[in-house]
Amino acid sequence: MKINQLVNQLVVARRLKLSITSLAILSYLYENNEQKVGVIAAHLGIHTAALTGMAESLENLGFAVRKHGKSDRRTVWLSITYSGFAAMEEITEAGKAQLATA
Protein backbone atom coordinates (compact mmCIF):
# COMPACT_ATOMS: atom_id res chain seq x y z
CA MET A 1 0.00 0.00 0.00
CA LYS A 2 1.36 3.40 -0.93
CA ILE A 3 1.67 6.09 1.71
CA ASN A 4 -0.84 8.34 -0.10
CA GLN A 5 -3.45 5.57 0.01
CA LEU A 6 -2.89 5.12 3.72
CA VAL A 7 -3.08 8.86 4.37
CA ASN A 8 -6.37 9.11 2.46
CA GLN A 9 -7.78 6.21 4.45
CA LEU A 10 -6.67 7.74 7.75
CA VAL A 11 -8.24 11.10 6.81
CA VAL A 12 -11.58 9.38 6.22
CA ALA A 13 -11.19 7.36 9.43
CA ARG A 14 -10.56 10.52 11.46
CA ARG A 15 -13.60 12.19 9.88
CA LEU A 16 -15.60 9.17 11.08
CA LYS A 17 -14.12 9.71 14.57
CA LEU A 18 -12.03 6.53 14.50
CA SER A 19 -8.65 6.30 16.22
CA ILE A 20 -5.97 4.20 14.56
CA THR A 21 -6.59 1.35 17.01
CA SER A 22 -10.37 1.56 16.56
CA LEU A 23 -9.78 1.46 12.80
CA ALA A 24 -7.65 -1.66 13.26
CA ILE A 25 -10.43 -3.32 15.29
CA LEU A 26 -13.08 -2.37 12.74
CA SER A 27 -10.85 -3.55 9.90
CA TYR A 28 -10.37 -6.90 11.65
CA LEU A 29 -14.12 -7.27 12.07
CA TYR A 30 -14.65 -6.24 8.43
CA GLU A 31 -12.40 -9.11 7.34
CA ASN A 32 -13.40 -11.70 9.96
CA ASN A 33 -16.98 -10.92 11.01
CA GLU A 34 -17.98 -11.63 14.61
CA GLN A 35 -15.07 -12.44 16.91
CA LYS A 36 -14.35 -12.92 20.60
CA VAL A 37 -12.88 -9.78 22.17
CA GLY A 38 -9.92 -11.84 23.41
CA VAL A 39 -9.13 -13.04 19.88
CA ILE A 40 -9.19 -9.49 18.52
CA ALA A 41 -7.00 -8.24 21.38
CA ALA A 42 -4.48 -11.04 20.80
CA HIS A 43 -4.40 -10.33 17.06
CA LEU A 44 -3.71 -6.63 17.69
CA GLY A 45 -1.26 -7.29 20.52
CA ILE A 46 -3.22 -5.36 23.14
CA HIS A 47 -4.82 -6.32 26.45
CA THR A 48 -8.48 -7.28 26.49
CA ALA A 49 -9.13 -4.54 29.05
CA ALA A 50 -7.73 -1.94 26.63
CA LEU A 51 -10.00 -3.22 23.90
CA THR A 52 -13.09 -2.82 26.08
CA GLY A 53 -13.06 0.99 25.92
CA MET A 54 -12.44 0.99 22.18
CA ALA A 55 -15.27 -1.51 21.66
CA GLU A 56 -17.54 0.82 23.62
CA SER A 57 -16.51 3.73 21.39
CA LEU A 58 -17.26 1.67 18.27
CA GLU A 59 -20.65 0.79 19.75
CA ASN A 60 -21.38 4.45 20.52
CA LEU A 61 -20.54 5.33 16.90
CA GLY A 62 -22.88 2.55 15.74
CA PHE A 63 -20.06 0.65 14.00
CA ALA A 64 -20.01 -2.45 16.22
CA VAL A 65 -22.09 -4.32 18.76
CA ARG A 66 -21.01 -6.40 21.77
CA LYS A 67 -22.80 -9.55 22.88
CA HIS A 68 -22.17 -11.85 25.81
CA GLY A 69 -21.78 -15.56 25.17
CA LYS A 70 -24.90 -17.67 25.69
CA SER A 71 -23.20 -20.47 27.59
CA ASP A 72 -20.57 -18.30 29.30
CA ARG A 73 -21.50 -14.69 30.05
CA ARG A 74 -17.82 -13.85 30.62
CA THR A 75 -17.18 -14.35 26.92
CA VAL A 76 -17.77 -11.16 24.94
CA TRP A 77 -18.24 -11.16 21.18
CA LEU A 78 -17.81 -8.11 18.97
CA SER A 79 -19.38 -7.83 15.54
CA ILE A 80 -19.49 -5.19 12.86
CA THR A 81 -22.79 -3.47 12.11
CA TYR A 82 -24.12 -2.37 8.75
CA SER A 83 -22.90 1.17 9.55
CA GLY A 84 -19.47 -0.19 10.43
CA PHE A 85 -19.37 -2.14 7.19
CA ALA A 86 -20.34 1.01 5.25
CA ALA A 87 -17.64 2.99 7.07
CA MET A 88 -15.01 0.41 6.11
CA GLU A 89 -16.23 0.47 2.51
CA GLU A 90 -15.81 4.26 2.50
CA ILE A 91 -12.31 3.99 3.99
CA THR A 92 -11.34 1.29 1.48
CA GLU A 93 -12.66 3.36 -1.41
CA ALA A 94 -10.59 6.36 -0.23
CA GLY A 95 -7.46 4.25 -0.75
CA LYS A 96 -8.64 3.04 -4.14
CA ALA A 97 -9.45 6.60 -5.24
CA GLN A 98 -5.84 7.55 -4.50
CA LEU A 99 -4.66 4.63 -6.62
CA ALA A 100 -6.80 5.82 -9.54
CA THR A 101 -5.31 9.30 -9.45
CA ALA A 102 -1.68 8.13 -9.03
Alpha helices in the chain (DSSP H): 3-15, 20-32, 37-44, 48-61, 82-101
Contacts with 40 (C-beta within 8 Å, 6 or more apart), sequence order = 25, 28, 29, 51, 78
Instruction: Please give the Cα distance from 42 to 81 (Å, whole number).
Output: 22
Predicted pLDDT at 96? 79
Instruction: Please give the Cα distance from 21 to 37 (Å, whole number).
Output: 14
* Domains in the chain, number: 1
Confidence band, pLDDT 50/70/90 cuts, at residue 101: low
Confidence band, pLDDT 50/70/90 cuts, at residue 100: low
Name the residue range of residue 79's domain.
3-101
Instruction: Please give the Cα distance from 74 to 71 (Å, whole number).
Output: 9
CATH number of the domain where residue 40 is located:
1.10.10.10
Confidence band, pLDDT 50/70/90 cuts, at residue 87: very high
pLDDT in tens, 24-36: 999 999 999 899 9
pLDDT in tens, 36-51: 999 999 999 999 999 9
